[in-house]
């Protein structure tokens, strides 16, 4: 699965009820592929290729880690503890991804 396909799957598994009243930007810096960001605003999710100039949190990983997390094979917290995932900015927001998206 390509990184673009992984993000498309993530976007399809978005839970708009969990995003009511939120205004967040999740930047994904993929070390071996293109970067993307997700704009979560008032129950909507917009996937954009490239960098956002002021993300709420930036998640840095390789494409294999991304695919594992989105498929549910890899636990995001375990990946973080193992150094496969790094976060910059409001790291607590990274934990919201499990609420905003059905990861499996």
Percent with pLDDT over 70 in the chain:
98
Sheet of strand 36-41: strand arrangement: 44-49, 36-41, 23-30, 57-61, 86-89
Residue 64: is its pLDDT beyond 90? yes
Give pTM, 2 decimals. 0.92
The arithmetic mean of pLDDT across residues 26-35, rounded, is 97
Q: 47 with 38: CB under 8 angstroms?
A: yes
């Amino acid at each position: 699965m390509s990184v673009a396909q992984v993000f498309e799957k993530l976007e399809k598994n978005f839970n708009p009820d969990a995003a009511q009243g939120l205004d967040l930007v999740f930047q994904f810096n993929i070390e071996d592929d293109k970067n993307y960001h997700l704009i979560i605003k008032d129950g909507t999710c917009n996937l954009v290729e490239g960098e956002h100039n002021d993300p709420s949190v930036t998640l840095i990983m390789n494409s294999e880690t991304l695919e594992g997390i989105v498929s549910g094979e890899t636990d995001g917290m375990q990946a973080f503890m193992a150094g496969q995932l790094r976060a910059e900015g409001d790291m607590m927001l990274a934990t919201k991804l499990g609420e905003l998206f059905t990861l499996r």
